[in-house]
Amino acid sequence: MKIVSACLAGIKCRWDGKARPCLKVIELVKQGKAIPVCPEQLGGLTTPRTPAEQKNDKIFTKDGKDVTAQFERGAEEALKIAKLANCNEAIVKSKSSSCGSGKVYDGTFSGKLINGDGVFAKILKKNNIKLFTENEI
């Protein structure tokens, strides 16, 4: 079983109220082989919401609000779902401050990327769940 970023499954859960549908992910969900989760929504954030990026191990919205606690809570809750469903792999949305794996935005809201993982991606890796972005499947 795979845990997947809900926006890749066509759920309109992104900060801008849109989805980023990936046909391969949608197919996996349809076949009962993947479960969609949105850690930012599970952390109590609204949709749409102000975009947020990582800076020095914390997460701030574009207008300067510290939302680290919501991101961490959402990552923990999404991990719980992954464990309940015995997921050993994940397909995550690239570059996201929650789901991004390998590269994330640098905290300047300029589109610049740095090496690193989103809050949810980090916790999945710690729990030995293998990650792929939508560009790696």
Question: Which residues are at the interface with ligand SF4 (CB under 6 A)?
Answer: 5-7, 13-14, 38-40, 93, 96, 98-99
Give the C-alpha separation, 103 to 123, whole Å: 15
When the beta carbons of 2 and 93 are compared against ligand SF4, the nearer one is: 93
* Residue keyed to tokens 């989103």: 118
Nearest approach, Cβ of residue 42 and ligand SF4 (Å): 9
When the beta carbons of 54 and 98 are compared against ligand SF4, the nearer one is: 98
Contact between residue 17 and residue 48 where contact means Cβ atoms under 8 Å apart? yes
Nearest approach, Cβ of residue 35 and ligand SF4 (Å): 12
Q: Residue 34 to residues 53, 60, 86, 92, 127: CA-CA distances in angstroms?
A: 27, 30, 11, 12, 18
Nearest approach, Cβ of residue 48 and ligand SF4 (Å): 10
Measured in whole angstroms, the distance separating CA 131 from the mean position of its chain's CA atoms is: 11
When the beta carbons of 4 and 63 are compared against ligand SF4, the nearer one is: 4
Nearest approach, Cβ of residue 74 and ligand SF4 (Å): 7
When the beta carbons of 47 and 55 are compared against ligand SF4, the nearer one is: 47
Q: Let me know if 62 is exposed, middle or buried by CB neighbors in 10 A (0-12, 13-18, 19+).
A: exposed
